Structure 1
């Protein structure tokens, strides 16, 4: 993530960007006009892009990613942002490329006076490292689900993701310091009646934007909930029995989008799917064909308004 520029550097970056993108001057000509070096101009232009002063969009009816995106949008009724990634790319590189595109796509969605829900996990961690700073006021970032398990509080992992989001957008952060999964559903019901917990749950009800990845049991880049000691063997067997294909913020669902009678959801701390569906803008970020079944479930559940996905996975989704 790139820090905000100082006012003087912002002015320099703006002037360089205007000369380069609006007046078609070469970097050598800009360097001469600004009395600096070509390498300094290059750094100014990069800063202008990284901090959101310049927003570059590629729109072409011949672009394959655009064609695939339009097909996804037509079939599933969501706004699709398809990220071109070579088929031979490794899964870690694929995730990082999608995360970078997602971070830049999010920028215009974020505004002042918003409550923004953020899940934790491998995908959101990757996105948080690429966020483009955008100054807002009276905005709040709220954690969607608890992160504690029997081995760790999860606070350090989740709070770092929240911190990056809060820093990028100048927003206050609200953690949710509860277990990812309770041992007993009765304990969860009791804690959910506490005023301190109710305050966070009420923020979930007021969210204007929610950003999440999709957990999948067979993903090659393991979803954190499946690789971070959150699930016992009995939990895994329960998910298998209930035909679960994935989760959003540790709320599990089947490929048809249903979540009724999935036992583990009674103990989970994430917002129920109805709460997510009420959020005006719901941004789902996915990388990797191993998540196709989980993405289908997410779409079938009506959880997504905006889907950011790599091209190979989008094609596999359309073919499934």
Structure 2
């Protein structure tokens, strides 16, 4: 009556013999439980628009979210996450395997996923979350669980450190059958959801504020030209990832991500534009949702910096 017939809440209340507030609560319940979904089809970025320019430069399907400049970084992220959650639902299907990388951005996206069940689907954690002081399980589990609950999916956790102390430990653990099973699930993923971490961002990336790297390791990474990370794999501005620290990282490399058919990257804030430039040059994304400030800064950087934006460095 409300969505299809266009009737007012007052008219519906009279028809049902209930109060207007009861109708309002019913409508809110329908949205929250997924009985009613409202989606806005993303128009393809036309030439000259921010989305169109990003599409042309990097070959991705971009959606640019307009956010008032007066908004806080938290509100900016929330607005971007709402659009990204809808895009993620578009990419899902029955039997899909969704790989999710933990982080502040994906946490906000999964909090806003509407409840739409996809029978036979799986949600798998893309990167380990433990560090020297904590298991990281509650944080990563909350993100994975929210996506799995919304989609009615089976969960697969990845119980390893974000960064190993020694490359040899990672190599040995990667041979274990229990870990191989998780890695094979990741390799079978059909959809990936991830953000971009920045060494310097207005809303600090969890991997840099959560004690996953020592201060000296962070300094060495900056000296090596690292601007951020994708799935806790450190990345330079040119898209390259070859470095000793990444030999200890548990996240998927750009080459592994590129095997996943649909890869949704979500970015909020202009301070993440530089690592996003590196991520796009590495070819990790097929779909991109970002705010307009990040989009403008990304395009400015692409024009200012040397090199060719479409070049993918593996």
TM-score (norm 2): 0.90
Worse-superposed segment, 305-314 or 235-244: 235-244
Q: CA deviation at 1:144?
A: 0.6
**Compared CA separation, residues 35 and 67, structure 1 to 2 (3 A):** farther
**Compared CA separation, residues 60 and 121, structure 1 to 2 (3 A):** closer
Q: 1:179-198 to 2 correspondence within 5 Å?
A: 179-198=161-180
Residue matched to 2:140: 158
Residue 40 (structure 2) aligned to one of 57, 60, 66: 57
Q: Distance in 2 between matches of 1:127 and 1:59?
A: 17
- Calculate the aligned-residue CA RMSD, in Å: 2.0
Q: CA deviation at 1:52?
A: 6.0
8 Å Cα contact 2:37-2:114 kept in structure 1: no
8 Å Cα contact 2:39-2:86 kept in structure 1: no
8 Å Cα contact 1:52-1:132 kept in structure 2: no
Residue matched to 1:13: none
8 Å Cα contact 2:67-2:76 kept in structure 1: yes
Residue matched to 2:309: none
Residue 244 (structure 1) aligned to one of 226, 229, 233: 226
8 Å Cα contact 2:174-2:180 kept in structure 1: yes
Q: CA deviation at 1:200?
A: 0.7
Q: 1:171-320 to 2 correspondence within 5 Å?
A: 171-260=153-242, 262-320=243-301
**Compared CA separation, residues 182 and 72, structure 1 to 2 (3 A):** same
Q: Distance in 2 between matches of 1:206 and 1:233?
A: 35
Residue 46 (structure 1) aligned to one of 28, 34, 59: 28
Q: CA deviation at 1:59?
A: 7.2
Q: Distance in 1 between matches of 2:240 and 2:174?
A: 23
Any gaps of 5 or more consecutive residues in structure 2?
302-314
8 Å Cα contact 2:42-2:63 kept in structure 1: no
Q: Distance in 1 between matches of 2:259 and 2:41?
A: 31
Runs of 4+ deviating beyond 4 Å: 58-61
Q: CA deviation at 1:271?
A: 1.1
Deviations 1:19-68 (A, max 9, x none): 2333222222222223322223233333444426232427789x99x932
Q: Distance in 1 between matches of 2:165 and 2:141?
A: 23
**What is the aligned residue count?**
299
